[in-house]
Amino acid sequence: MTPEVEDAISSMTATNNEFFYWMSIALMMLIHAGFLAYEVGASRSKNVLATAMKNLLAFATIIASFFFVGWFLYNAMPSGFIEMTDAAKAALPWSDNMGPNIDDPASGIFWGAFALFAATTGSIMSGAVLERIRTSAFLILTVLVGSVVWIIGAAWGWHGAGWMLIKLGFHDVGAAGCVHMIAGFATLGILINLGPRIGRFRPDGSAVTIRPHNLPLTMLGLMLIFTGFFGFLMGCVIYTDAGYATIYGTPTTLSAFAFNTLMGLAGGIIGAYLTSKGEPFWTISGGLAGVIGVASGMDLYHPALGFIIAFGAGAVIPFIGKLLEKLKIDDVVGAVAVHGGIGLYSVLMAGVFLAGYPNAEGLPPISFWGQAIGALTFAALGFIPAYLVSLLLKKLRMLRIPPEVEEQGLDLAEVPATPYPEGIPVTAMRVNGNEMLFASEVK
């Protein structure tokens, strides 16, 4: 092969590499369109616009903060501590690599894919805290989770030089642990301090179901998230001239990801449908649980095994939701169950079914104990900082909106606007003198 042909092939490979991750970013944007629709539908009519605005602000603040802080942490902390390696220096916001540089076409495209991962972690938390959190507190917490906490976990357990991979043989190719589990446990810590919505629990502790104002929109949102997941999983693959590799550099194919993503969707939906007795919200959420359930080991599972694991993931989420209800934790969209609980399940299932399987060359094989230690690390990393920061905000009276604002609705207090000026749904407001009442709340 002549040098000219080699140069042409190299140039084509670089271009294809850029385009691959460009499309990954574009598809991941659908996750955020999906989260917006999902959360708007899950909220009550009086909070629709405030919910949408929080999604937009979460996306914008995380992208900006990830540029200035998050990408550096990922490249500086694989060992567990900040080290000023060449990669870390190249990720500093004033580096030549962090801007238009014709000699470095890759940094921006990789940063973009990871920035969308970061925004996903913030969106996971945003749905759970609907209808009673202050916007300022929400943005502080979403930046904490999206640009600091999860990316440290990714540096430890997802980076090719991460200490969890090097020492434990940790395996989490689809980011069930470092994205979903960390975000889910962070959400749990925040919800404990935030408390439930007014009227969510009776004085005797029994739960009151607060219905989504638009369940079809919520289901459509989840379908958009499913579509965006293909972009998310593209970002979990390394594209090279030698073929595809996992985030750990081990050989894989897009077929492995396609088989287990689709079988995961199917298994999760069926499992949740059966155990929830056909409840629409849990059934559609089961698809997301199914994909997360197989994500840690989706490069290695046989599709039939992937279906079984995903079926179990979907089947268990309604029970996690009921347990949280008994603990008086008000999670509007089931984020703790679907992301935290099933992220943990996914990491452990990889330890059960892939134990002994070779990992990256020269590194420890996958083991149940390695997965379990990794899961405990991620649980603590997600829960502790989010709990402490939200507790501080609570002590400063910055976490939760006043009760009168919550009862009136955030759209009038925060936006202010009404989402349905020409026709007000039955769950929205009606006027009785000067008092705002909501049809779903009137006795």
- pTM of the full predicted structure? 0.90
7 is a domain residue: no
Residue 133, token pair as written in the block: 């959190």
Distance CA 212, CA 434 (A): 26
What residues have CB less than 8 Å from 164, skipping those under 6 apart?
Answer: 156, 157, 170, 370, 373, 374, 377
With cut-offs at 50, 70 and 90, classify the pLDDT of residue 423.
Answer: low
Tell me how far the alpha carbon of residue 181 is from its chain's centroid.
8
- Pick the residue with more confidence: 249 or 282? 282
- pLDDT at residue 160, rounded to an integer: 86
Backbone CA torsion sign across 230, 232, 233, 234: positive
265 is a domain residue: yes
The torsion angles phi and psi of 438, rounded to 5 degrees, stand at -125, 130
- Pick the residue with more confidence: 328 or 359? 328
Q: Is 74 exposed, middle or buried (0-12, 13-18, 19+ CB in 10 A)?
A: buried
Query: Which residue's structure tokens are 């989840």?
Result: 222
- Pick the residue with more confidence: 16 or 145? 145
pLDDT, one tens digit per residue, over 176-215 is 999 999 999 999 999 999 999 999 999 988 889 888 889 8
DSSP symbols for 277-317: TS-HHHHHHHHHHHHHHHHTTTTT--HHHHHHHHHHHHHHH
pLDDT, one tens digit per residue, over 9-64 is 455 455 567 888 889 999 999 999 999 999 999 999 899 999 999 999 999 999 99
DSSP symbols for 130-186: TTTB-HHHHHHHHHHIIIIIHHHHHHHHTSTT-HHHHHH----TT-IIIIIIHHHHH
337 is a domain residue: yes
Tell me, what CATH number does 256's domain have? 1.10.3430.10
Residue 295 confidence (pLDDT) above 60: yes
Average pLDDT over every residue of 113-129:
92
Which range of residues forms the domain containing residue 393?
14-403
With cut-offs at 50, 70 and 90, classify the pLDDT of residue 422.
Answer: low
Average pLDDT over every residue of 59-71:
95
DSSP-assigned letter for residue 133: B
Angle at 35 between CA 32 and CA 40, to 5 degrees: 130
Closest CA to 173 of 224, 102, 106, 245: 245
Number of residues written out for the chain = 443
Bridge partners of 20?
A: none
The mean predicted confidence, pLDDT, of the chain is: 89
- Report the percentage of the chain scoring pLDDT > 70: 91
305 is a domain residue: yes
101 is a domain residue: yes
Amino acid found at 412? L
**What is the domain count for the chain?**
1
Distance CA 390, CA 145 (A): 12
393 is a domain residue: yes
420 is a domain residue: no
Bridge partners of 246?
A: 237
Query: Which residue's structure tokens are 């083991």?
Result: 367
> Contact, 348 vs 328, CB < 8 A?
no
Distance CA 166, CA 426 (A): 57
> Contact, 427 vs 47, CB < 8 A?
no
Half-sphere exposure of 174 (CA within 13 A, CB side): 33
Closest CA to 287 of 261, 268, 311, 307: 268
436 is a domain residue: no
Q: Which helix (H) or strand (E) holds 391?
A: helix 368-395
DSSP-assigned letter for residue 197: P
